[in-house]
């Protein structure tokens, strides 16, 4: 089949958009990060709080928080020596909620 004859699937989004979408879901695709997000569901928490609750190293938590921060899924504020993290927006709740609905079957 020659190039100009290639069948057209007109509804395919830009390659960039599909790539970005995969990158977004990749963030949710790690149980450590999911657990961190759940800890932040009800309230903001400091890094050491999260590490305590999840029984993880401060360093490991901090590394993952950096990834969540870069993806704009969490935001942070400093209060003295501590830094408090919270969910960035409602999309985080929504995405996780839809995922949970799919699981329960």
Partner DNA sequence: CAGACATATGAACGAATGCTCATATGTTAA
Partner DNA sequence: TTAACATATGAGCATTCGTTCATATGTCTG
Cα–Cα distances in angstroms (integers) from residue 91 to residues 7, 65, 88, 103, in the given order: 35, 17, 8, 18
Q: Considering the rule CB under 8 A, would residue 5 count as an interface residue with a second copy? A: no
Options 47, 56, 67, 96; binder of a second copy; rule CB under 8 A:
96
Q: Does 4 bind a second copy (CB under 8 A)?
A: no
Task: Walk across the sheet containing 74-79 and list its strands.
Answer: 45-46, 82-87, 74-79
Among 47, 56, 83, 95, binds a second copy (CB under 8 A): 95
1-40 residues in contact with DNA (CB under 7 A) are: 26, 29-30, 32-33
Q: Which positions ≥6 away from 48 have C-beta within 8 Å?
A: 58, 82
Which positions lie near DNA, rule CB under 7 A? 26, 29-30, 32-33, 46-48, 56-60, 62-67, 76, 78, 80-84
């Amino acid at each position: 089949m020659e190039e100009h004859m290639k069948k057209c699937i007109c509804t395919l989004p830009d390659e960039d958009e599909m790539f970005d979408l995969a990158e977004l879901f990749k963030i949710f695709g790690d149980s450590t990060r999911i657990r961190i997000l759940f800890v932040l569901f009800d309230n903001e928490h400091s890094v050491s709080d999260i590490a305590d609750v999840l029984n993880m190293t401060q360093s490991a938590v901090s590394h993952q928080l950096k990834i969540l921060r870069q993806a704009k899924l969490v935001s942070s504020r400093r209060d003295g020596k501590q830094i408090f993290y919270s969910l960035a927006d409602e999309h985080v709740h929504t995405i996780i909620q839809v995922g949970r609905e799919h699981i329960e079957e």
